[in-house]
């Protein structure tokens, strides 16, 4: 049974956020004086409902920017041309914000809920239920609704693969069950027509020490990327991990289900697309042969349908960890002095 669980350090960080998206139709907008009044009035209704259901870190995004949520000991909210980056600690930080431009008509309204408190994973189903209650009530309060809401639930946990080498030896076991089944067992019923993915992201900083270990005189980043790619593929192939990608172009990787979303990139993001129902080996490379200097390389591993085995993704993640340890050893990382942060992400989405 131990192989069916993933044992992670007690210092593991867990997080969850849910977005509900509504297309801003002409039918809805015509009930307001202008787009700005639409945003302001809906935000007021939204924040009141969130307070009633004890959701204390909520945001309305009406400028079509993509939310990116990360853990941090201090609360920050930073905007780029395409993204809004939320850094926060779920135990302490609360906020309500409306993001919009008075002269800009958004394509969609995105209602963002950040989980707060302790035991984020244990309380995930209750948090999801509260979000649904807010959205169900908000739907009835809108003067018109021509499009359904799309709910996207994101859950993530991150930890240092080398925590034990740094004497952080206390661990906790997770089965890493499928979100749909986990929620159902806790009284949170979701529509049966949903999409779900699970993946791992590992970010490897390209330190001076690492470059000195790998590169010989006269070699450039292209040689570094090729070396890392070879070692990564060797490690995951030995563990029969089928869907993987390497990103070394300086863009933020976004993992998508390729059955519904196209691959591609923007000025800031790289869309990595896999179909979890496809069990064939597929590797994707997103780097430009060393023409662009980056500070870190991202490695992505996406679980296939066959990688899920009841009671959860525990066996799969143990294979991933074993592959990553082989990879780290091959490239000369020191577990006592360096970190290799493993992020495990689960996602489920559906229409209401």
Q: Kindly state the average pLDDT of the residues 107-129.
A: 96
DSSP label of 208: H
Model confidence over 272-294: pLDDT tens digits? 999 999 999 999 999 876 556 78
Model confidence over 127-154: pLDDT tens digits? 999 999 999 999 999 998 667 899 999 9
Q: What would the DSSP string read from start to end of 261-292?
A: S--EE-SSEEEEEE-TT--S-EEEEE--TTSS
For the chain, how many structural domains are there in total?
A: 2
Residue 292 placed within a domain: yes
For residue 113, give the 3-state DSSP assignment.
Answer: strand
Do 339 and 225 fall within a single domain? Answer: yes
Among 288, 284, 312, CA closest to 300: 284
Do 150 and 203 fall within a single domain? Answer: no
Residue 4 placed within a domain: no
Model confidence over 148-176: pLDDT tens digits? 899 999 999 999 999 999 988 899 999 99
Confidence of residue 263 (pLDDT cuts 50, 70, 90): confident
Confidence at residue 222, expressed as pLDDT on a 0 to 100 scale: 86
Q: How far apart are CA 13 and CA 3, in angstroms?
A: 22
Do 336 and 215 fall within a single domain? Answer: yes
Prediction pTM value: 0.94
Q: Is residue 296's pLDDT more than 90?
A: yes
Containing domain of residue 80, as a range?
A: 13-174
Do 141 and 265 fall within a single domain? Answer: no
The answer to whether 111 touches 58, Cβ cutoff 8 Å, is yes
Between 119 and 221, residue with greater pLDDT: 119
Strands 6-9 and 171-174: antiparallel
Q: Kindly state the average pLDDT of the residues 122-128.
A: 97
Residue 22 placed within a domain: yes
Confidence at residue 56, expressed as pLDDT on a 0 to 100 scale: 97
Neighbours of 348 (CB within 10 A): 22
Model confidence over 22-57: pLDDT tens digits? 999 999 999 999 999 999 999 999 999 999 999 999
Q: How far apart are CA 282 and CA 297, in angstroms?
A: 19
Kindly report which listed range (13-17, 257-261, 317-321) carries the lowest average pLDDT score.
257-261
Residue that terminates a domain, selected from 119, 141, 174: 174
Do 329 and 203 fall within a single domain? Answer: yes
Do 152 and 58 fall within a single domain? Answer: yes
Do 238 and 92 fall within a single domain? Answer: no
């Amino acid at each position: 049974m131990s192989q069916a669980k993933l044992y992670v350090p007690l210092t593991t960080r867990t997080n969850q956020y849910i977005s509900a998206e509504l297309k801003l139709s002409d039918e809805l907008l015509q009930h307001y004086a202008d787009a700005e009044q639409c945003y302001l009035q809906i935000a007021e209704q939204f924040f009141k409902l969130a307070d009633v259901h004890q959701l204390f870190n909520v945001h309305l995004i009406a400028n079509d920017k993509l939310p990116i949520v990360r853990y941090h000991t201090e609360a920050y909210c930073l905007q780029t041309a395409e993204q809004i980056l939320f850094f926060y600690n779920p135990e302490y930080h609360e906020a309500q914000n409306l993001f919009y431009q008075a002269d800009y008509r958004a394509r969609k309204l995105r209602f963002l809920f950040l989980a707060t408190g302790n035991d984020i994973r244990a309380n995930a189903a209750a948090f999801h239920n509260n979000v649904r209650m807010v959205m169900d009530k908000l739907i009835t309060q809108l003067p018109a609704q021509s499009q359904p809401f799309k709910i996207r639930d994101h859950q993530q946990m991150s930890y240092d693969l080398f925590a034990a080498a740094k004497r952080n030896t206390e661990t906790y076991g997770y089965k890493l069950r499928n979100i749909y089944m986990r929620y159902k067992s806790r009284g949170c019923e979701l529509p049966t027509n949903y999409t779900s993915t699970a993946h791992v992201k590992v970010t490897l900083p390209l330190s001076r020490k690492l470059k000195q270990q790998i590169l010989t005189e006269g070699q450039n980043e292209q040689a570094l990327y090729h070396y890392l790619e070879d070692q990564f593929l060797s490690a995951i192939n030995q563990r029969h991990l089928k869907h993987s990608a390497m990103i070394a172009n300086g863009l933020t990787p976004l993992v998508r289900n390729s059955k519904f979303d196209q691959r591609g990139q923007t000025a800031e993001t790289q869309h990595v697309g896999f179909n979890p129902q496809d069990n064939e080996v597929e590797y994707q490379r997103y780097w430009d042969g060393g023409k662009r200097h980056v500070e870190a390389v991202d490695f992505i591993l996406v679980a296939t349908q066959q990688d899920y085995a009841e009671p959860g993704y525990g066996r799969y993640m143990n294979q991933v960890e074993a592959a990553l340890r082989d990879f780290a050893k091959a490239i000369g990382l020191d577990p006592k002095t360096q970190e290799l942060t493993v992020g495990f992400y689960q996602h489920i989405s559906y229409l209401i």
